[in-house]
Amino acid sequence: MGGEGKKKKKNLVIYPGSFDPITYGHVNIVDRALNIFDKIIVSVAINTTKSGTFTIEERVDMMQEVFKDEPDVEVDSFSGLLVDYVRERRAQAILRGIRTVTDFDYEFQMALANKSLDPDVEQVFMMTEGKYLYHSSSIIKEIVSLGGSVGEMLPPIVEKRLGEKLRT
């Protein structure tokens, strides 16, 4: 479509979230999104009204370890409005993973709010693969706190650090 002589635009997407902790479900969304986007910025949303299990710095550190071998994934954090951050980073879209109808309902409302704040920012929803459907952070934290194994739900560095946090 008339692309002769034009430089290809790099497709950049922001994948925001609390990632407390990052799970294999999140990693799967990133891996699959790399088939669509040239670069993904996985960014921890700094929410001053919530206290997490891990600090923002700990989450960023673990995610950098998880994605260290993937040159097309950058790990970052942000505060404030997501659409402002997307504009600042010059991204074309926001990526969100959807596990359940409840997730969709919430994400749909957020997408409408973001679209009203910036009509140019696109939103992409990606369904979680079935085997990751029930990997919620609250369930994972409960299993770990009770001494259970979550090796099939979390990358090794995350499982190790979560165990150190919750079993002390």
Q: Is 135 a catalytic residue?
A: no
**Is residue 4, in this structure, part of any structural domain at all?**
no
Q: Which of 39, 87, 89, 99 is catalytic?
A: 99
The reply to whether 96 belongs to the active site is no
Block means of pLDDT (10 residues each) for the chain, length 168 residues?
Answer: 54 95 95 96 86 92 97 96 96 93 89 94 92 86 91 94 86
Q: Is 99 a catalytic residue?
A: yes
Question: Is residue 18 one of the residues assigned to a domain?
Answer: yes
**What is the span of the domain harbouring residue 30?**
12-132
pLDDT computed for residue 48 by the predictor: 66
pTM for this prediction: 0.90
Give the CA dihedral 62, 60, 114, 47, nearest 10 degrees: 110
Residue 165 lies in a domain: no
- 158 occurs within a structural domain: no
At residue 135, the pLDDT reads 81
Query: Among this protein's residues, is 26 annotated catalytic?
Result: yes
Q: Which of 93, 101, 98, 105 is nearest to 127 (CA)?
A: 98
Q: Is residue 46 part of a domain?
A: yes
* Domain CATH number, residue 100: 3.40.50.620
DSSP result, 85-117: HHHHTT-SEEEEEE-SHHHHHHHHHHHHHHHHH
